[in-house]
Amino acid sequence: MADRNIQTLVCSDCKRKNYHYQAGKKRADKKKTEVSKFCRACKKHTLHKEAKS
Ligand SMILES: [Zn+2]
């Protein structure tokens, strides 16, 4: 089993899954990632939150 951990970033405005990235190491203790990213659907930068894929 590969220990890949694909994370998804979901736009907090329209709930679209816009970004995917690989979480390399264990981040169980960390808070959920929240980053400002450009959303094509909203056509602006919005807050994106980590979601379970
Ligand atoms: Zn959006």
22 CA to centre of ligand 1 in angstroms: 21
What Cα–Cα distance (Å) separates residue 34 from each residue in 1, 2, 31?
29, 26, 9
1 CA to centre of ligand 1 in angstroms: 34
8 CA to centre of ligand 1 in angstroms: 14
Instruction: Convert the pLDDT of each residue in 4-39 to its tens digit.
Output: 788 899 999 999 999 998 876 665 556 668 999 999
Spans of all domains in the chain: 6-51
Asked if 17 contacts 49 with a C-beta cutoff of 8 angstroms, the reply is: no
In whole angstroms, give the CA distance from residue 36 to residue 11.
9
37 CA to centre of ligand 1 in angstroms: 9
Please tell me which residue, 1 or 49, carries the higher pLDDT value: 49
CA angle (28, 30, 36) in 5-degree steps = 125
Looking at CATH, the fold of the domain delimited by 6-51 is given as Rubrerythrin, domain 2 (2.20.28)
Residue 43 confidence (pLDDT) above 80:
yes
* pLDDT attached to residue 6: 84
